[in-house]
Copies of this chain bind each other. A is one copy, B any other.
Amino acid sequence: MDIIVLKPSATEEELKHITKKLESMGLRAQVSKGTERTILGVIGDTSKTTEEVENSVRAMPGVENTVRVLKPYKLASREFRKAPTVIKSRGVIIGGKKINVMAGPCSVENKAMMVDVAKKVKSAGADFIRGGAYKPRTSPYSFQGLGEEGLQYMAMAREKTGLPVVTELMDPRDMEVMEKYCDIIQIGARNMQNFRLLLEVGKSRKPVLLKRGLSATIKEWLMSAEYIMSQGNHDVIMCERGIRTFETATRNTLDLSAVPVLKSLTHLPVVVDPSHGVGYRHLVAPMAKAAIAAGADGLMIEVHPKPEEALSDGEQSLRPDEFKKLMKELQAVAHAVGREI
């Protein structure tokens, strides 16, 4: 809260009451009496003004509204850290000149398939393997993932290919097993505001890939990054994966403008997941190219050897040969914007 707008009917006494309250918090009010409204500019370190203080000021007699001008996040902001954050995972650098590609199936289904896909995406140029062992499903009757077994298969795939593993954590109680097998912990869209889970991964030393919530604003998303960072883990990767809109021709609406917006607001690297963003195979390639042109630091792409037999998200998964072809096409776009892939 940096600005307090008074009601036209606010009395002198109410004004005094408010300025006193501010003073009790070590702040000072500069009063601007306009023809229609009196506005208070709050001076002092308002960055410490917590939400509850703002709420209580807003509930005081005479106050019409409060406006927050300053950003509510600190550690995640460009002001806090000018240089882009560069993260290392098993030797792979995220946030540098080279664009990272994380590829693999939606769900880990069995060992053979996992190792097979890993080899194929590696030979096509991917830097990470992705796959889900714990799956957030809308229906309790759907396949919920293989759990620890799935993590083991991913670790085996890593052993065979050298590619570090990105996988999703859904429950703080799985943290220990997660630390054992994975390299980058993914927080899914539906858990972007699962604050207890955020605090938990904030205590980990593994990088965290934080997906944007289905209807989250960029500010809320950065606040969730701040949750993680507030616990000491500064290796957060922002992952745009589409937001909910009225459009039904795509599964979600991939908000690529989030890429340059994040680049100006935060020092954290930005990855785009076109597979979940669009939901249909034939739309993945154009949006992957567009993501790079918009300035993304990485891509997360679903690849499945036989999409029509996938246990989840088959219709948005690329076949290995389609992925290979895409990787080649991406090179030209990456070079066009001064990046490598």
Contacts and interface: CB of A to CB of B under 8 A. Distances in A.
Given A59-B308, A59-B314, A332-B336, A257 B253 contact: yes
A47 interface: yes
Contact of A171 (B61, B196, B214, B307): B196
A58 interface: yes
A292 interface: yes
Interface in A173-232: 173, 190-191, 193-196, 198-199, 214-220, 223, 226-227, 230
A293 interface: yes
Interface stretch (A62-70, A110-118, A155-163): A62-70
Contacts of A5: 69
A312 B54 CA distance: 9
B290 A256 contact: yes
A50 B143 contact: yes
A311 to B, nearest CB: 5
Contact of A260 (B195, B215, B286): B286
A338 B37 CA distance: 34
Contact of A245 (B70, B255, B264, B289): B255
B50 A287 contact: no
A214 B193 CA distance: 11
A70 to B, nearest CB: 6
B220 A138 contact: yes
B50 A139 contact: yes
Contacts of A42: 34
B2 A39 contact: yes
Nearest to A281: B59
A103 interface: no
A93 interface: no
Interface string A2-36: 11010010000000000000000000001011111
Nearest to A191: B194
Given A72-B139, A141-B230, A247 B243 contact: yes
Given A52-B312, A59-B314, A336-B332, A260 B247 contact: no
A276 to B, nearest CB: 12
A244 B214 CA distance: 11
Shortest Cβ-Cβ A-B pairs, 3 listed: A32-B41, A59-B314, A215-B215
Given A3-B69, A32-B43, 8 more contacts: A36-B46, A51-B141, A55-B310, A173-B173, A260-B278, A264-B282, A286-B295, A329-B337
Interface of A: 2-3, 5, 8, 30, 32-37, 39, 41-48, 50-52, 55-61, 65, 67, 69-70, 72, 79, 136-143, 170-173, 190-191, 193-196, 198-199, 214-220, 223, 226-227, 230, 243-250, 253-261, 264-265, 277-278, 281-283, 286-287, 289-295, 307-315, 317, 329, 332-333, 335-337
19 contacts: A3-B69, A36-B70, A41-B41, A52-B142, A55-B315, A56-B310, A58-B315, A59-B317, A138-B193, A140-B199, A140-B223, A215-B215, A217-B246, A256-B256, A256-B287, A257-B287, A260-B286, A293-B293, A336-B336
